[in-house]
Structure 1
Amino acid sequence: MSLATAPEKTSETPRKVARIPLWANPRIGLIVLLILLVVLFSTLRPAFLDTRLTLVPLQSDISVYLVVGLAQLMVLSLGHMNLAVGRMAATSAFAMGLVHDKLGFSLVPSLLTGLIVGALLGALAGLIVSRTGVNSFVVTLAMDFALVGLITILYTSVTDGVAFPDQPAGMGALRFDTFADYCVGDVCGPRIPLVVPFALVAALLVGLLFRFSRLGREILMTGSNIRAAELSGIPTRNRIVQAHALSGMVAALAGFLLAANNGAFSASLGDQFLLPSFLAPVLGGTLLAGGAVSVLGTVLGATITQVIYKGLNLLQFQFDQLQLYIGLVLLAALSLDRVRHVIAERRGAKL
């Protein structure tokens, strides 16, 4: 009687994926950079820490450009770009001003109208990209040029100028008031502008979208590998349209916040959105190639960008110089991000 020998068991210990070292973590690096910038500017200009002169306006600016960064992040998740983010914000703001001026809409209905207009503009861009296969760079650049002319025509014909004469009740409070202006008994809130919660809620919702929702995961999978996503049964065309629609909606919110800060719905609103819209997410670690986003990094990126703007402004740098240095920051961020990826790949680290 012969005994059959059992097949020899071969067990291979799975290779443990190394974690990226702490010093190479982009979020830690951004926090350190932010602290250094605050120390530098407050040393050179003590007025940098003045609450009313600097810190309150700085928080309002950060709120606006955080939302702008989130609008760009929505399409960067696909590996796409939205070069019309500023014009979408301006067109949506025009719709808000129009329904208030002509129909008497209050603050909330006006805001909702603008968000719908922004979502429709974004969906149109996404529809063109998904159905024609034309690169998002070309589509949104063409839309940007088209909206520039449209906005001028609309303001000229409707307002006979460059801005609506008034704004919904409550926008003045968003511009000037802080939580410190509202007290319960002897307890008053901190010096935080009323626009800040809008940005924080937007960041929270975008983070939850990509972290926990099926839609967010499928958008990221589409951005990571569209062919693999299609083979997995994901309706990639729909996800492209939806991501662009969300980008337009968030851009509309940014337009509303900027209008609240400026005190008017104007034709020039959003002119400076394009570069900061890329700076915040790219500095924060969002990949231009798609498939990975960082909402927390976008918050830090927007904060650092506006701290640099405010600090250089207090140091009396000219606007052209500000643009130069911000451009250099973006270039340095892209270079450091590439270095970080090379280091991680060589060490087998997980980003």
Structure 2
Amino acid sequence: MSHTKSNSAIAHDFEESKVSSQDYLNYLQEKQKRERLLAANPQAPTNFIFADEKMLRIREIIKQIADANVPVLISGESGTGKEVIARMIHMSSNRKSDPFVAVNCAALPPTLLESELFGFEKGAFTGAHQQHAGKFEQANHGTLLLDEVTETDQGLQAKLLRALQEQEIERIGGNGPIKIDTRIIATTNRDIARSVKDGRFRQDLFYRLYVIHLEIPPLRDRPKDIEVLTRHFLKAFSLQFKGEAATLTADAMQKLLKYSWPGNVRELQNVIQRAVLMTQGNTVTAKEFVLEQKKVDEDLEWVKHLPIGQKMREVETQFILETLRTHNGNRTHSAKTLGISLRTLRNKINEFVLEGHEVPQPTTGKAL
């Protein structure tokens, strides 16, 4: 049975959702403003800087598949540079003169995400005063990046599958399909195969996306990249803030090489930026790097108190419910504590409700 909704049903869902049409129009205005700022920002993440053998191999694969009109799935921890890889694929392809359009699937509730991806016709819902072309159309003849694709819900996954299979989409409120020529690149920081097994991600969509799979190793496994990226960020930020290139002491580099970088390249960039700003003079030393290296033995002490014998799913359920109780049912704070997106937490809560669990409600009366 198909789970794809009709356009009239989607428009009705939008009308009935907690997100008002005015909120959506405000979102569109803010998004356009951010895109203009990004276009004017010369430090946009397009540089592919590396020295590690694993990344050299990825570069060779990119050269091989750049012009192939097939989907690419990029996986890896947050901050490893998945979007940079996606941009490199686009810029290495015969589509490089056409748009590269990115959308963060975890940043919007389902109704807004669907409107953003597929667009809508004038009058499709209250507040739709003009036609809006979605991301698929904006990326026509170019590349569409679906960032954190595993955060989409099952209904939207069905529409994505159809777009991939048929190379056509339909706007909300539209009267017929629109042909598209858009290459899809998807990213995830999750174990997507596990998401399929757990029923959170459609198997047929997984196989459609899994034609080419690139797994980006974490920065801690790429010591050569730590060094070249450090020198790149050091030069860029010192020229930006001090007007001249700074130098780095040997002990400072050793400190960076020994760190585990849980936030990967994004964390390294922030650490170097802070060090440049805080350094008196033009030489950055080890003391300028504030790195919170956790003590493994202390951090894992709680593992000894886990209820051995219970299934992982049961432990996860109780852990999430207890976190919600600690935050008085506040979804936003709980998701932040758990290190997951708000959408993932909401999906988990829906599963718990279906399984009969009592889920703590926000004391404010709003599911924040």
Q: TM-score range by the shorter chain?
A: under 0.3
With normalisation by structure 1, the TM-score equals 0.26
Higher fraction of helix: 1
Query: What is the TM-score with the length of structure 2 in the denominator?
Result: 0.25
